[in-house]
Amino acid sequence: MTEEKHHHHNTPLSEIEERVKRLEALLIEKNLVDVRTLDQLVDTYENRVGPKNGARVVARAWAEPAYRDRLLDDATAAIKEMGYAGRQGEHMVCVANTPEVHNMVVCTLCSCYPWPVLGLPPTWYKASSYRARAVAEPRSVLNEFGVQLPDQTEVRVWDSTAEIRYLVLPMQPAGSEELSQDALAELVTRDSMIGVALPAYTAVARL
């Protein structure tokens, strides 16, 4: 991926970030909100509200083979079908993990990220160390995230751009086949849709 092809969105984003920073400073100065409340709010969008959309997409792809096919064929349309569309989600590509191939996503130049399905990018995703190391030594990065893949599994790293945003379709955890889509969505973590975690399922014994 050359720098030229990576028409990224630094300019408009910076303006927005600039305005948000000024607004944040003003709110704190006027004692309208405290820093902790703001941090919690960001955390909510980063970790909970945002990624829930992506989790519903993944759960449906696990439960409905026809939807999975549509998602892999045209992710933008299949995601829009679920009602998730908008800025930073106009050109989506979904890459499916298999026993043979594990996908992970990075934006090597800035922090391109599919907002409609994942919310705000986490701090580590924007960090220069992740952006550089995800490409140079993906397996080491995965190990640090707690993911150990079999040696024979190929790791593919996808570089996001303003043109294309990737969503990883993780493999459905064994034993979860009978769960409802809502229950399946609970298994899907944000990090598993970036490709730095694997969803897990432990059946709870019913007494």
Q: What does the binding site for Fe ion look like in residue numbers (CB under 5 A)?
A: 8, 107, 110, 112
Cα 138 from Cα 30, distance rounded (Å): 45
Cα 50 from Cα 44, distance rounded (Å): 8
Would you say 160 or 172 has its CB closer to Fe ion? 160
Would you say 112 or 120 has its CB closer to Fe ion? 112
- What count of Cα atoms within 13 Å lies in the side-chain half-sphere of residue 187? 25
Q: How far is the CB of 29 from Fe ion (least distance, A)?
A: 31
Helix axes 10-29, 35-43, angle to 10 degrees: 140
For residue 58, the one-letter residue type is: V
Active site residues: 107, 110-112
Residues 119/51, Cβ–Cβ less than 8 Å: yes
Would you say 141 or 187 has its CB closer to Fe ion? 141
Would you say 68 or 131 has its CB closer to Fe ion? 131
Cα 134 from Cα 124, distance rounded (Å): 11
Q: How far is the CB of 13 from Fe ion (least distance, A)?
A: 9
Q: How far is the CB of 131 from Fe ion (least distance, A)?
A: 9
185 burial (CB, 10 Å; 0-12 / 13-18 / 19+) is: buried
Q: How far is the CB of 30 from Fe ion (least distance, A)?
A: 33
